[in-house]
Chain A
Amino acid sequence: MEKRVVFKSAWLPYALLAPQIAITVVFFFWPAFQAAWFSFQLQDAFGLKTEFVGLRNFVELFNDSHYLASFKITALFSALVAVLGIAVSLLLATMADRVLRGALAYKTLLIWPYAVAPAVAGVLWAFLFAPSVGIITFALKQIGIEWNWVLRGDQAMALVVIASVWKQVSYNFLFFLAGLQSIPKSLIEAAAIDGAGPLRRFWTVVFPLLTPTTFFLLVVNMVYAFFDTFGVIDATTQGGPAGATQILVYKVYHDGVKSADLGGSSAQSVILMVIVIALTVAQFRFIERKVHY
Chain B
Amino acid sequence: MVENRPLLTFFTHAVLIAGVLLVAFPLYITFVASTLTLDQIVQVPMPLLPGSHFLENYSQVLTAGSQRGAAAPVGRMMFNSLVMALVIAFGKIAISIIASYAIVYFRFPLRNFFFWMIFVTLMLPVEVRIIPTFKVVSDLGMLNSYVGLTLPLIASATATFLFRQFFMTVPDELAEAARIDGAGPMRFFFDILLPLSKTSIAALFVIQFIYGWNQYLWPLLITTDESMYTTVIGIKRMITGGDALTEWHLVMATAILALVPPALVVVLMQKWFVKGLVETEK
Contacts and interface: CB of A to CB of B under 8 A. Distances in A.
Contact of A135 (B24, B46, B124): B46
Nearest to B30: A124
B190 interface: no
Contact of A235 (B20, B45, B96, B239): B239
B108 A20 contact: no
16 contacts: A23-B151, A28-B124, A28-B155, A32-B132, A34-B136, A111-B274, A114-B277, A115-B266, A117-B258, A119-B232, A120-B214, A135-B45, A139-B45, A166-B23, A234-B220, A252-B127
Looking at chain A's contact residues, the main secondary structure is: helix
Interface in B106-130: 106-108, 111, 114, 117-118, 120-125, 127-130
Contacts of B96: 20
Contacts of A273: 123-124, 128-129
Contacts of A265: 130-131
B217 A231 contact: yes
A266 B131 contact: yes
A178 B133 contact: no
B179 A96 contact: no
Contacts of A20: 95-96, 98-99, 118, 155, 160
A128 interface: yes
B236 A106 contact: no
Interface string A11-53: 0111011011101101111111011001000000000000000
Given A20-B95, A249-B127, A135 B29 contact: yes
Interface string B250-282: 011001001100110111001001100110011
Interface stretch (B5-13, B56-64, B70-78, B194-202): B5-13
Contacts, number: 305
A125 B129 contact: no
B45 A23 contact: no
A138 B13 CA distance: 29
A127 B129 contact: no
A257 B221 contact: yes
A67 interface: no
B263 A262 contact: no
Contact of A231 (B99, B216, B252, B282): B216
Contacts of B82: none
B105 interface: yes
A14 B102 CA distance: 8
B255 A120 contact: yes
Contact of B127 (A91, A230, A235): A230
Interface string B157-190: 0001000000110001001100100001110100
Given A135-B29, A276-B125, 13 more contacts: A8-B106, A9-B185, A23-B155, A28-B124, A31-B136, A92-B19, A110-B19, A111-B270, A123-B235, A128-B25, A131-B243, A133-B41, A265-B130
B15 interface: yes
Interface in B14-50: 15-16, 19-20, 23-27, 29-30, 33, 41-42, 44-46, 48
Given A133-B42, A138-B45, A38 B26 contact: no
A220 B106 contact: no
B232 A27 contact: no
